[in-house]
């Protein structure tokens, strides 16, 4: 069995961690701050793990990150997760095609055009979602329909 893992906080550090409870921070960050505070107040790793329904190893990792990185260690590292296959230039190209060319495209045709001209393979569903999220689709067709209605 290893040595007891214990962190010691200054009053400023303790107050900073306490203030994180009401700050606009992710739930995980708030929990990690509370884990550090509880350990500093004498709680054992096993008791903290049971309190938060975590493994003891997770609690140890939080404490080690605090000792190594300080307050920065509470947040997730940037760059986690899958990176998008498309770039901003790809979407600007598709928006330009939709806006300036006289013909209309469906998402499958946009997917093929993007692959042929930019060598970027995106599914029609992904293209539809990205353009919809940016507000790039739907508005022009609505304007055309409103302008062409007979009264």
Task: Using alpha carbons, select from 105, 101, 98 the residue that is nearest to residue 134.
Answer: 98
Query: What is the structure's pLDDT at 45?
Result: 93
- Residue 93 is given by DSSP the state H
Count structural domains, the chain. 2
Same structural domain for residues 94 and 124?
A: yes
**pTM, two decimal places:** 0.55
Comparing 44-48, 60-64, 134-138, which segment has the lowest mean pLDDT? 134-138
Same structural domain for residues 41 and 65?
A: yes
Same structural domain for residues 16 and 61?
A: yes
In angstroms, rounded to a whole number, what is the distance separating the alpha carbons of residues 63 and 17?
13
Domain that holds residue 63: 11-74
Cβ within 8 Å of residue 67, ≥6 positions away:
7
Asked if the structure places residue 149 within a domain, the reply is no
In angstroms, rounded to a whole number, what is the distance separating the alpha carbons of residues 27 and 31?
6
pLDDT at residue 33 greater than cutoff 90? yes
């Amino acid at each position: 069995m290893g040595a007891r893992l214990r962190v010691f906080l200054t009053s400023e550090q303790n107050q900073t961690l306490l203030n994180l409870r009401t700050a606009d921070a992710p739930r995980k960050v708030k929990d990690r701050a509370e884990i550090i505070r509880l350990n500093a107040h004498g709680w054992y790793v096993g008791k903290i793990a049971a309190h938060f329904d975590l493994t003891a190893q997770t609690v140890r990792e939080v404490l080690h990150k605090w000792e190594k990185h300080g307050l920065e260690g509470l947040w997730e590292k940037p760059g986690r997760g899958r990176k998008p296959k498309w770039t901003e230039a790809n979407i600007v190209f598709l928006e330009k095609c939709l806006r300036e060319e006289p013909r209309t495209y469906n998402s499958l045709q946009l997917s093929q055009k993007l692959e042929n001209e930019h060598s970027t393979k995106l599914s029609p569903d992904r293209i539809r979602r990205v353009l919809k999220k940016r507000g790039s689709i739907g508005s022009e067709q609505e304007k055309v329909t409103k302008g062409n209605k007979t009264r």
